[in-house]
A and B are shown apart, each in its own frame.
Chain A
Amino acid sequence: MWPSLSALASDINGGKVKAVDLVNKALKKIDEDKDYNAIISVYKESALEKAQKIDELVKKGQKVGKLAGIPFIAKDNFLTIEGYTTAASNVLKNYRAVYQSTAVNLLEDQGAICIAKSNMDAFAHGSSTENSDFFTTSNPYDKNRVPGGSSGGSAASVALSMVPFSIGTDTGGSIRQPASFCGVVGYKPTYGLVSRSGVIAMASSTDTIGTITSNVLDAVTVMDIISGQDKLDSTTLPSKYKIDSNKIKIIKKAKIGIIKEYLDYGLDDQVREGLSLTIAKLKNAGYELEEVSIKSLPLALAVYYILCPAEVSSNLSRYDGQRYGYSEANSLDLESSYVESRTNGFGKEAKRRIMIGTYVLSSGYYEAYYKKAQLVRTKLINEFNEVFNKYDFLIGPTVPTVAFEKKSKKDPLEMYLNDIMTVAINLTGVPAISLPVPLENSLPVGVQLIANQKKDNELLSLALSVEEILNRED
């Protein structure tokens, strides 16, 4: 276990703890647990070098950053100058970035050290890391089960205490679902709160960058650093909406809507138990909770699996084997170079999404699929707005199930169903957080708290309060 980020930071700043020791501790843990396959690459030498520099600065009495010397892991779709950035895909297996993602830059500016890059579903397509073109990550609580996905490696690495925090991306639930499966805190902010610059795109209109931590305050600490407007990403929100540690405080009163539609799905017993327990404890603590219905919610999954593949098919078209990435060397002409590079480079799931996306954008089908899905998306946004007129927050399960066994989802549609409670959050751009619910004799279960767009500081305040209540000894 790691102390909280603020404790670590003050220990480093005060010279009580050496950055090199933190990095070594993380490296040791990564090595011990390497059979979980959570990690794609480790940056041992550069991490130690950076740690040494920080220790020297502290020794000289110079000021160091807010996260100086603290190791973290980035999902392998964050571009880093160090090493390769693969998105766990064969296409980018040997890809070296020439510039770095804004999120990693901001963390490094504060002295945090990117020590490794974690496994994921290739190009973030999936909910189990089984779509990684390299290997599948194991769930820290049961090696036969998946850690969730697509940020499965990031969630497992924090659950295994390799590092105090990791960063991931959430396009349809890719932070919250693995956080739920691995018993850690997964935060997906409002769309546009963190810059997407330098993050390999999946579906641009729902891609969100967030954190995986072992507690809410650590999420706040990291989000305070990585959120804010970025001139490299025109979709970022003005910095007045950014996460501000000073604005996060316990809230004792709130009106919380329990999403009715999420109770209707076949929930696992543990998931139902986790949710009931949370609701009971919150009512007991004086919060106002009641069921609320969002009519179009059952359509969210269908809408997501039209819009997301459409954007995926577009975003993946740059991987054509002509400039970088996987390329068939012996193709006879341009046309076959395109066809062979893409056919042999992309994995099954990427190709499936390219096919679906191409189909729904084709003339004759655009109106019936893409356009209609956009209309429903707008409707969904309006319905969320209406609900948030009455309620401060919403609550529901993060995932209908606990972590499932590897290779148990043979049908891709069955895998897509696992996203049923997370995708609406991405379609509407609102923030949500998955908190682990302490249950005895159970695989980890997460509960999802949701707020309206740009209410991130309020949501994290509530999450801090709920976390405290859930962990309270009765």
Chain B
Amino acid sequence: MSNDRTESILNSAFLKEYVPTIGIECHVQLKTVSKLFSGADNNAKEAPPNTLINHIDLGLPGALPVLNEQAVILAIKAAKALNSRASNFSKFDRKHYFYPDLPMGYQISQFDEPIILGGYVNIYDPINQRAKRINITRAHLEADAGKNIHPDKKNYSLVDLNRAGTPLLEIVSEPDMHSAEEARLYAEKLYLLMRYADVTEGNLYYGNMRFDVNVSVSKTNELGTRAEIKNLNSFRSVERAVNYEIIRQVKLLEDGERVVQETRGFNDQEGTTYSLRSKENADDYRYMPDPDIPPIILDDSYIDKYEDETNHLPDYYIDKLRDLGIDEVSSYILLDYELEEGAGILEYVLSLPKNSVKPIVNWIINIESPIILKLANITNNKINRVHSLYEDLLSISQEGLINSNSIKELIKKLFEMDKPPKDLRLYIKELGLIQNSDTKELESIVKKVVEDNPKAFNDLKNGEQKVIGFLIGQVMKISNGSANPSIVKELIEKLI
């Protein structure tokens, strides 16, 4: 599809006639110490091929899978994050197919009685400022397969079984999303949920979370034929793949062709999807209960115990912050920031007196976080130390002793210091950041600025209000940023 054609479809009216419908399956690798059914190390990231395997992962004769209890515990926590609850009874089934990365000739998965049934995920669309609930159909435990590697220009392929047997939680959503944006928001929220529930390392680069998106478009109430785009490992690629797929399918239908039910791959460089295999003749996996693994039977007290152990989840913080007057967009920024820095920022914000929350959150988002992103090796201790000065700083600013420009300057300095100042007020004075509210002194600066910029002043007099910002800026410059901007503004207005 040429870019011109894509553009014209994107801009055309008929795209709007089609409603896209999207469902997502997400494979979450659980951060267990050992594999789902064997004692082999589960940390396959950088290990040389085929070093983290034992007789069970290799599918040797006589090898029996033994369920890793830690995976069950993580599934209980994930269930809570999905606003669901682990089932009292679930079981494992064998899903049969032949492939070199599948040593036993079957994958151990959960077919009709998964560990998690139902649930939902709340997402928030910042552009339309709209919250939405995406329902979860189910989530089940299964063992990951190994990896086939195809060396360039060689007549053989290689198999690495390090990943074989890694526990996966496959989370299946209802087809509740209707735009690429919603698909991305859902993927992002799922990531936050799994990270906060602490069930996955969540490293997308290493494929800790992989998304399969099912996309269809339709002009009517009846759903269209869907295509599944497999193995997307970033939020951006989820959004791009869905967008491409919507346009591809609309174009097909507008050209009088039909959408084929198939599995497709995504070319990240070109942002396009391509056909992998048709699904019209459905594979027959010959599911069968796995006789080697007794069912997972969980009594309520066991489930309760690990639900109670689960960390606070994103929606908990969003609700609390909303009560304190923080909007969802800001809350999501704080949630991300907490994951990046792990400095207890959320708990810190919740511990603040109600009146301090908004301005301090504003500092954290607009001043602190850009600073920290630039600095390497910033310790949580340091962040906490700076935080301990924020309330003091807030009262100083409310007293009008320091202007917002200087606050930015000050917070930057605080992060550069090894030790916090003993007396913040004294320190601000020493730095010369105290706001100048001396009307007489400021009057003379204002006069000078007006004389030096006659054209600007003239324009202002003629009603060009925006020029006043320029003049205030000049005064701030001469006063080394210490001038109280609201007094300066008054003084300029008086001169008109």
Contacts and interface: CB of A to CB of B under 8 A. Distances in A.
Interface of A: 79, 85, 87, 92, 95, 97-99, 101, 196-201, 203-205, 231-235, 310-311, 313-314, 317-318, 320, 322-324, 334, 338, 358, 361-363, 366, 370
Main secondary structure of the interface of A (DSSP, over half): loop
B62 A314 contact: no
B62 A201 contact: yes
Given A79-B62, A196-B64, A361-B286, A322 B100 contact: yes
B61 A95 contact: yes
A460 B112 CA distance: 40
B292 A314 contact: no
Given A85-B61, A97-B61, A197-B64, 11 more contacts: A97-B60, A98-B55, A197-B63, A200-B62, A204-B292, A234-B66, A234-B292, A234-B293, A317-B98, A318-B104, A370-B288
Interface string B78-104: 000000000000000010101010011
Main secondary structure of the interface of B (DSSP, over half): loop
Nearest to A310: B288
Interface in B28-74: 55, 58-67
23 contacts: A95-B61, A97-B61, A99-B60, A197-B64, A200-B62, A201-B62, A204-B292, A231-B66, A232-B64, A234-B293, A234-B294, A235-B291, A314-B105, A314-B106, A314-B286, A314-B288, A317-B105, A320-B98, A323-B59, A358-B286, A362-B286, A363-B284, A363-B286
A311 B291 contact: yes
A341 B105 CA distance: 14
A358 B287 CA distance: 10
Nearest to B98: A338
Contacts of A366: 286-287
B291 A205 contact: yes
A454 B58 CA distance: 33
A458 B225 CA distance: 63
Interface of B: 55, 58-67, 94, 96, 98, 100, 103-106, 159, 284, 286-288, 291-294
Which residue, A85, A92, A320, has most C-beta atoms of chain B within 10 A? Answer: A320
A85 B63 CA distance: 14
B379 to A, nearest CB: 43
B94 A98 contact: no
Nearest to A192: B294
Contacts of A205: 291
Contacts of B96: 314, 317, 361
B173 to A, nearest CB: 25
A318 B62 contact: no
B288 A311 contact: yes
A232 B66 contact: yes
Contacts of A204: 291-292
A446 to B, nearest CB: 28
A171 B141 CA distance: 30
A203 B58 CA distance: 20
Contacts of B62: 79, 97, 99, 101, 196-201
A92 B61 contact: yes
A311 B59 CA distance: 16
Contacts of A370: 288
A358 B292 CA distance: 19
Nearest to A358: B286
Contacts of B291: 203-205, 235, 311
A362 B283 CA distance: 10
* 6 closest A-B pairs by CB: A317-B105, A205-B291, A361-B286, A204-B291, A198-B62, A318-B59
